Amino acid sequence: MQTVTVLGATGSIGCNTLDVISRHPEKYRVFAITGNSQLTLLMEQALKFAPRYVVVADESLYQDACDIAKQMGVAAEVLCGQQALEDVASAPEVDSVMAAIVGAAGLLPTLAAVKAGKRVLLANKEALVMSGALFIEAANQSGATLLPIDSEHNAIFQCLPHDYQYGDFASSGIHKILLTGSGGPFRSRALDTFKAITIDEASTHPNWSMGRKITIDSATMMNKGLEFIEACWLFGAGADDIDVVIHPQSIIHSMVQYVDGSVIAQMGNPDMRTPIAHGLAYPERIDAGVSPLDFAAVSDFTFQTPCFERYPNLKLAIDACREGQCATTRLNAANEVAVEHFLLGNIQFCDIADVNDATLNAMASVSVNSIQQIVEQDALARTKANEIIRGKFQC
């Protein structure tokens, strides 16, 4: 029996995780669930999974959360705030932590799980994008096991040899990691119409159903850029070791190319319950509730190279990856601010990349060697991005 904390339980990954867990009550027990705002959903989950703790990240919602818990007859103890998130991620009773908070907000709770030596099921890519070297070092020191949940990274993990040594491509005969992405909803849209892209159009992904922020990131391909950085850290790869390949059908979730010409791909229907189940059960396999891939029903299977004119955010992320930790932290922060403003209708779709670029250009590079410095750079970049948006768009 594995005891699991689900950080970000009310989100898309969180709900999918609880769905997989509900299929195997004899294998998994839920210790804690956390959420930021959807209190009724969070308490419904608490009723169904009977965790010891329910954590509400936003402290101002604590009283409301307690009232709803009481009304609904939730037995779990209700906690709130940042420290509580870290506590339920690192509690001694916990074996595995699903890190599924979105954005930089996930950094400290995820790191708490890493430092406590847990099995960390990593969906929160932004945490690794921000703190890469320190994150991996903390995992090495504590003995934490990192299991990638991002479908591409989970696919790469499955395609690597079992005895793969971190960063040692040569000994395993690896030529390249091929990171696939669908290209999002605007893969074939005329570039001169990008200015007219609406929030609804950008919020509709052709193949995956996900949270709002990652859906916009998929449309700009910033998501693939963040994943590029994530893959470098997870597998000890350099920027030249990874190629991004557009594969619109999202059947192949990524590949590893070997020096003898072999390419090993992981395939399946685009359903996040597959990598979640893989992470939960690894090295075993469990039913994820995902229907088997029907090749007869796959009409097309195509590939293309991404064009940076269409996806400037992808280029920004690859460049930041080459530059280092300070740049990746700032880019991630600027992007979170820009996406938020896009979703509020304050800026246009094309402005997201412009704000990201301008933020990076406006700040001199510094070296970051601690989590405190990373958190500082994250805050400075947010302030700068907001300033740029206010200056340019008067909002």
If the CB atoms of residues 150 and 357 are measured against ligand NAD, the closer one turns out to be 150
Q: Looking at the DSSP assignment, which residues form a beta bridge with residue 6?
A: 33, 98
If the CB atoms of residues 56 and 232 are measured against Mg ion, the closer one turns out to be 232
* CA-wise closest residue to 54 among 23, 16, 14: 14
Site for ligand NAD in 36-55 (CB under 6 A): 36-37
Alpha-carbon distance of 170 to 164, in angstroms, equals 10
Instruction: Report the residue from 86, 150, 271, 351 that binds Mg ion according to the rule CB under 5 A.
Output: 150
Which distant-in-sequence residues (6+ apart) come within 8 Å of 367 by Cβ?
A: 324, 326
In the chain, count H helices and then E strands: 15, 11
Which segment (8-16, 193-201, 235-243, 288-296) binds ligand NAD by CB under 6 A?
Answer: 8-16
In whole angstroms, how close is the CB of 101 to Mg ion at the nearest point?
16
If the CB atoms of residues 213 and 382 are measured against Mg ion, the closer one turns out to be 213
Q: Does 334 bind ligand NAD (CB under 6 A)?
A: no
Size of the site for Mg ion (CB under 5 A): 3
Q: Does 271 bind Mg ion (CB under 5 A)?
A: no
Q: CA 14, 276, 264, 319 torsion: positive or negative?
A: positive
Query: For the chain, first and last CA: distance in Å?
Result: 51
Residue reference for tokens 């609406």: 198
* CA-wise closest residue to 194 among 331, 318, 355, 312: 312
Binder of residue 271, out of Mg ion, ligand NAD, none (CB less than 5 to 8 A by kind): none
Site for ligand NAD in 189-248 (CB under 6 A): 208, 210-214
Q: What CA–CA distances, in Å, run from 340 to 213, 290, 343?
A: 8, 32, 5
Give me the residue whose beta carbon is nearest to Mg ion: 150
If the CB atoms of residues 174 and 337 are measured against ligand NAD, the closer one turns out to be 337
Which distant-in-sequence residues (6+ apart) come within 8 Å of 144 by Cβ?
A: 113, 114, 115, 116, 117, 118, 119, 120, 138
Which segment (33-41, 255-263, 284-292, 301-309) binds ligand NAD by CB under 6 A?
Answer: 33-41
What does the per-residue mask of binding to ligand NAD show for 132-171, with x meaning CB under 6 A? ------------------x---------------------
What does the per-residue mask of binding to ligand NAD show for 55-84, with x meaning CB under 6 A? --x---------------------------
107, 112, 117, 119 alpha-carbon torsion, rounded to 10°:
-50
Q: Looking at the DSSP assignment, which residues form a beta bridge with residue 258?
A: 174
Q: Does 100 bind ligand NAD (CB under 6 A)?
A: yes
Which segment (18-26, 47-55, 145-153, 382-390) binds Mg ion by CB under 5 A?
Answer: 145-153
Asked if residue 53 lies in contact with residue 31, where contact means CB atoms within 8 angstroms, the answer is yes
If the CB atoms of residues 210 and 317 are measured against ligand NAD, the closer one turns out to be 210
Q: What CA–CA distances, in Å, run from 393 to 188, 341, 346, 351, 388?
A: 28, 10, 7, 10, 8
If the CB atoms of residues 11 and 248 are measured against ligand NAD, the closer one turns out to be 11
In whole angstroms, how close is the CB of 391 to ligand NAD at the nearest point?
26
Which residues of this protein are in contact with Mg ion, per CB under 5 A?
Answer: 150-152
> Rule CB under 6 A: which residues touch ligand NAD?
8-14, 35-37, 57, 100-102, 105, 123-126, 150, 208, 210-214, 272
